[in-house]
Structure 1
Amino acid sequence: MQIKDYPLITALSNDDLLLVQTASDDAFKSLKVSDLKSYIGVSSSSGSGSGSVTSYPSGMALLLDGGSLIDKSGNSRNASPIGDNSPLPATGIDGKKVLRWNGSGNQELQVTDFLDGTTGATLYCVYSVTGTGNYNLVRTYALDDYWHFIDGNGYIGTFQNVRHEAYPPSMPNSGNHLISIHASSTSYEVVLDTISKGSQSSSYASGDRFRIGTNDKSFSGDIALLLVYPQYVQPNSTSDLGVRNSIKSAYPSLSI
């Protein structure tokens, strides 16, 4: 039967089946629409074709969400695994697709460095922790830095050329959280959920890399959202609250 003999389909549901031909052996196999969406990083929820149901304030440099390595900021800064292994798409917070790290210490991702020449940056990350050990979710410089160390504190170095000692204090080893990092030429502040960890006097450094879920810290948990703006966004400013409101609408169970 020729393709023209099939009726034209203008809408598909997530449970519909597609007939696909594999390149390796020319065999035909069935594939659910929902599985195809997950594979290419498009949300199965209603929303825009980009896969991001939530609309975040404009000007972002990087947007990873929906359990996908595809950058949805429009800048084509897709993530890729450092080695042979990658975090896998899974269902996580509020039933949303996430990227899941299993604690094996071999699932680190990289994005080509994109902050060179900037004078500040702000990062928002929705993540879930299932292990009680060390983790470092974003590294931008060759530092031995931690978002969480076994003593419960962070020794963070994201957007810095030296790590902070015992800062941020009291970082989580369980649960779902939003962390935001606000770095400028004169100050550095981490906000966890709604609590500021205090402002530090330090100078922003754009770094020479952008690594996610670094192998040396063996993260066990999920990253649901990673959103970066290439400028300083002041905590509790109108711009910051706009981002937070968008995140809250996407992940309503967050305590923010």
Structure 2
Amino acid sequence: MYDWQTRTIFALERELTGIMITEERGGGMKKYIKIIAIVGSACLLVYSSAMNAEAVVISILAPSADEQVLESGRDFYVIGRIEREGLRPEDMPFDIRVDVAETGLVRDGKMIPLRTVSSHVDHFTGLTPERDIYFRYEGKAPWVDIGREELYRSPPPDLVYRHGDPGSFYDPSLKAVVTKDRFAVLIQGGVTKDFDTAYSYPDDLGWKLYRIIVTAVAGDKVLARAEADIMFGTVQEKVLARF
């Protein structure tokens, strides 16, 4: 059970226990029984919320079926949909983690990840906090003119850093965002390793088949999981033509 659910139950117990004592001193078994029923209903409501929290569904939208063959070393985005089953993000805060491993070495959920990128949502909102988006990225994309409010609605993971730690902007493991119904994660393959990044992976993503594993995690609990394969290489069927 999540911390917020445990805190809610304890708060209800303290508050309602005080009501029970007051009612009992006033005399009246009916009132006492009524309060017991309220306690049971409240705890049942919290338990029901815990069960609903496990119903989160995530799906991978990109790379799509038409985007699953990339040139060696390319960067790519993992973009997906979040279905929260009617709950608000603040009611069910969780992070998105993306692991990339060689497909042939993934066995029964066990793997040796070559890339791991995780979001760090605000536990009060369930979303990537605005303070962790670096809006002052002057001189890098001068052709883009997007307001701060509009940019925060769909922030690119490239701009994520840890507030208060300017150097963390270059950490490739932080490049993930979570919004109300979407997530987006940047995976670096190696081609941009000399551009505004502390890229320190021992190997670039070469010509192999890789498994993308996306998990929604709350603490050490996995709420949902989605997978897709992507190949770095070339396809045999090519069309050569003069233009």
The two structures have a TM-score, normalised by structure 1, of 0.25
The two structures have a TM-score, normalised by structure 2, of 0.26
Which has the higher Rg, Structure 1 or Structure 2? 2
